[in-house]
A and B are shown apart, each in its own frame.
Chain A
Amino acid sequence: MSAGLQDTLIFERSREGRRGFRVPDLDVPAVDPKNMVGPQFLRVKETSLPEVSEVDVIRHYTRLSKKNYCIDLGFYPLGSCTMKYNPKINEETASMPGFSRLHPLQPQHTVQGILELMYELTQGLCEVTGMSWGTLQPFAGAHGEFTGMKFFKSYFKKRGETKRTKVLVPDSAHGTNPASAHISGFDVVELPSNEKGMVSIDELKKHLDENLAGIMLTNPNTLGIYEEDISEIAALVHEAGGLLYYDGANLNAVMGKSRPGDMGFDVVHLNLHKTFSTPHGGGGPGSGAVMVNKKLEPFLPAPAVRKRGDEYYLDHDIPDSMGRISGFYGNIGVLVRAYTYISTMGSDGLQRASELAVLNANYLKEKLKGRYYLPYDRTCKHEFVFSAQKMKDDYGVTALDVAKALLDFGVHAPTVYFPLVVHESMMIEPTETESKESLDNFIDIMKEIADLAEKDPEKLHEMPLTTPVRRVDQVQAAKHPVLRWQPEE
């Protein structure tokens, strides 16, 4: 195999006249499309789609796949991303034609199985979160946040409280939180954290007025710290007439241990692709299912999955509904995987998963905190945040350098430069599916990198050395955007 073939784009493999797919012979009269519609409707310029064989396609994308790291290859300690193992049984059940071939507008009596699955999944997610009912439609976490904010809007509209336009978001929150609140028509106010990395009650009290719509929180927060004042926060916000939104990015820490509903939240979004083990697919498709309490149930997006007697159905008759948030009912393929996971783990397994996720995180934190600075030194939940600031000051080695060096050692980097409240942050989330050996291996690697930082910082600036490409030039990419392959004229 020549190096050239390794690095080609599919378009560069194209040879005029080569075919990768045989279309069935036409069994109806072969009328030329030109004779079916007026000339103004016809495509003028033909496409430059590749002309390749099936062998070309398979080799090309198989070779591409080899340039990709993945959870099946090894450790992926990305903070707030919950890169747990994606069980294979989920893929088997999701590929059953009894699910995958269904059209969304089939008669309801022909889709009782999938509706039952969606109904039971909603029930299960409500039980884990302590909520009343929900929607499985949101396609991703950010879409779930948007849906959650629409619950806020619909609730206040119904009550005639249209002046409630202010949503509080802690400075440690995911960037999508303020963006989602903004695109839903709210004004965002950032809430500074206190010295313990938690929501500051004093700061919160400054905003408890008639304009308050509510607050968006992640608990445990992005520092991996459980917000110990959560009940007080909830009481204060509710007393002020506001609502609480739970960003479920970190739910993997507390399944069967503490439920958002019991903490006082009104709306919860979950990332089924994090907590419930569905594959991330290189960036999607995921699912940002949203659960709500009784108070917000009347505002569910249409349609909602319901049961009447033994029959499951899609309920379009929701008078106070926020409306439709997506074309159909969500990323159903992802839902089948999440349902499979919950069935496999059960009540005992989900709880055990959270316990071991927290055990793994604390183990890593304790073993490494001597070598990396831990700004918030306390028991963490499923993740924790180191700072490379001191390493940067002493040796010029940044969080990015540590991240890139890890790639050479065959593990994925942690989340770096987030949360923004910690300088040179490295956010580490091991998840429960990593064994002690896997963690010990990571500990050894991290120590070796810390040694290198002291002895040979130059080498760290050069890493990674063994990856399919070396560090890439992001500045050039943004300055002179090349966003597509161009055919030679």
Chain B
Amino acid sequence: MFSYLPHTDEEIKQMLADIGVESIDELFADIPEKIQFKDTLQLPKGKSEHEVYSRLEAMAKKNTQGVSFLGAGIYDHIIPSTVGAIMGRTEFATSYTPYQPEISQGVLQAIFEFQTLMNEITSLPVSNASLYDGHTAASEACALAVNSTRKTDTILYSGTIHPYTKEVLTTYFEDLGVKLVELPEKEGVLDAGSVKEYLTPQVAALLVQSPNIYGNLEDYTGIADILHENKSLFIISSNPMSLGVLKSQGEWGADIAIGDTQPFGLPAYYGGPTVGYIAASEKLLRKMPGRIVGQTVDEEGKRAYVLTLQAREQHIKRERATSNICSNQALAALGTTVYLSTVGKKGLEELSAQNMQKAHHLAEKLQKEAGLELLSNQPFFNEFTLKLPSEAAEVADKMEKEGIFAGVVLNKLDPSYPKDLLTVAVTEKRTAEEMEKYVRSIKGALK
């Protein structure tokens, strides 16, 4: 018995008779004999809902949690109850891509609002309906840059971006004849002085990240002008939570803003689903990857929303399309939309400030009370990197036994980082008490 298969034996008989065949097997007779699968799939037989739930519950219990100071792209933030309530609505969750706008105004309007929110956060005028995650968004942004600048074949990126972003870029571009060139870092930030040295007429764009992999903020004063004089584009990736108080990509003069909205209402969920965001200047609109929703009117002149500018997309362009993306992370993007609507203008400013205040509080305590050093003396948002007197992995292991996920061991992300670096993220969710415990624990671990 299968609860999702409604057919009775009698109905199956009638249907077969109406079709004019004797058996269901006859409907599969067009599969050549030698490639018909005659065995039984080597999987357990079907089970009741209750048995399945118990099995999954047991699996979930095998995972353990600690007080999390982990970041590097995924953070432990407070999620307002409205987010789950709306994302759980079946009208949103169980609908398809809004190809029939007359019966999809709900999801279309929500995407239109998402686009507006991303425009507001990034200070750039054109956003799409979302991309997969922040790392693939970087690839799409670089492809957009190569496709919209003339005779270019080179992407410059800062050595301080997330190492996984570098790896994803390599996978995307290594077979396309696009050169990826890493710019050096200096004292934990991009060596801004090096940008001019690396600029050639072939450079499509410079990709940077702030807060960067160490958590440090980078000063991009003057960079946009240098790039634009060279007809190259400026791409800035940012943790959007920082943009409540910190300078937005548009304000730095970027042409393309990217990142991941996971901090905005999405659970960590072992890394996904999250939402890649992208926003760009007006002139890049026609080359923008992914879905875009536009406002229009219906036959009666009523305001309505619809997927638009589809001439960019692969179902029309096929192999001439510049991106193969034909979906978005719609339901997760809805989560972010509800999150930002709930926390609102003032709430985002407060949350953003609290992240900064708490991270600075812990960093200060670690320096004063535990005698620890930061990797560099740069400004930071909610993440900072400690240069420990011993291997970070060992310290983190010891602290984990006390229920604390101490931070990201950078050497584990990329073996080219020294082994003594630990990047610590502190969100608004961490309490003063948890930070006290952190300080005690790291002191013990370093003894």
Contacts and interface: CB of A to CB of B under 8 A. Distances in A.
Interface residues on chain A, size class: 35 or more
Interface string A172-185: 00111011111111
Nearest to B24: A355
Nearest to A255: B41
B116 A485 contact: yes
Given A27-B431, A183-B176, 14 more contacts: A9-B113, A20-B343, A67-B103, A96-B60, A101-B76, A106-B70, A114-B270, A139-B272, A178-B318, A179-B317, A327-B133, A327-B136, A340-B56, A403-B100
Interface stretch (A278-286, A290-298, A450-458): A278-286
B241 to A, nearest CB: 12
B97 A280 contact: yes
A92 B109 contact: no
A484 interface: yes
A356 B300 contact: no
Interface in B33-82: 34-37, 40-47, 49, 52-53, 55-66, 68, 70, 72-74, 76, 78, 80, 82
B293 A483 contact: yes
Interface in A249-292: 254-259, 262-263, 277, 279-286
A248 interface: no
B206 interface: no
A325 B168 contact: yes
A348 B45 contact: yes
Contacts of B56: 93, 96, 117, 336, 339-340, 343
14 contacts: A33-B246, A99-B269, A106-B70, A175-B314, A228-B32, A256-B40, A262-B35, A327-B168, A333-B272, A339-B56, A356-B7, A359-B19, A470-B298, A471-B298
Interface stretch (A35-43, A238-246, A390-398): A35-43
Contacts of B291: 283
Interface string A452-474: 00000000000010011111111
Contacts of A228: 30-32
B351 A69 contact: no
A45 B120 CA distance: 10
Given A21-B347, A28-B357, A100-B269, A65 B63 contact: no
A284 B396 CA distance: 35
Interface stretch (B83-91, B149-157, B437-445): B83-91
Interface in A399-444: 403-404, 407, 412-413, 418, 432-436
B44 to A, nearest CB: 5
Contacts of A153: 175
A28 B44 contact: no
A1 to B, nearest CB: 16
Contacts of B229: none
Contacts of A176: 314-315, 324, 326
B109 to A, nearest CB: 6
A412 B103 contact: yes
A288 B85 CA distance: 27
B297 A471 contact: no
A42 B247 contact: yes
A175 B11 contact: no
B70 A175 contact: no
Main secondary structure of the interface of A (DSSP, over half): loop
Nearest to B89: A65
Given A26-B357, A40-B221, A72-B94, A484 B168 contact: no
Interface string A292-317: 00000000011000000000000000
A107 B19 CA distance: 56
Interface stretch (B124-132, B193-201, B369-377): B124-132
Contacts of A124: 43
Contacts of B184: none
B189 to A, nearest CB: 12
Contacts of A44: 247, 251
With most chain A CB atoms within 10 A of its CB, the pick from B5, B269, B352 is: B269
Interface string A96-126: 1111111111110011111011000000100
Nearest to A361: B27
Interface string B294-315: 1111111011111011110111
Contacts of B300: 470
B120 A48 contact: yes
B112 interface: yes
A435 B12 CA distance: 10
A87 interface: yes
B411 interface: no
B281 interface: no
B100 A69 contact: yes
B107 A467 contact: no
Given A11-B113, A28-B361, A176-B326, A468 B102 contact: yes
B289 to A, nearest CB: 10
Nearest to B34: A231
Contact of A179 (B96, B119, B318): B318
Given A102-B65, A102-B270, A326-B136, A68 B304 contact: no
A279 B107 CA distance: 14
B379 to A, nearest CB: 4
Given A182-B319, A327-B134, A347-B44, A105 B102 contact: no
Interface string B318-357: 1111111111111110100110111111111111111011
A339 B56 CA distance: 9
Contact of B105 (A331, A436, A469, A478): A469
A432 B78 CA distance: 40
B106 A66 contact: yes
Contacts of A5: none
Contacts of A194: none
Nearest to B130: A284
Nearest to B2: A349
Nearest to A32: B353
B330 to A, nearest CB: 4
Contacts of B88: 91
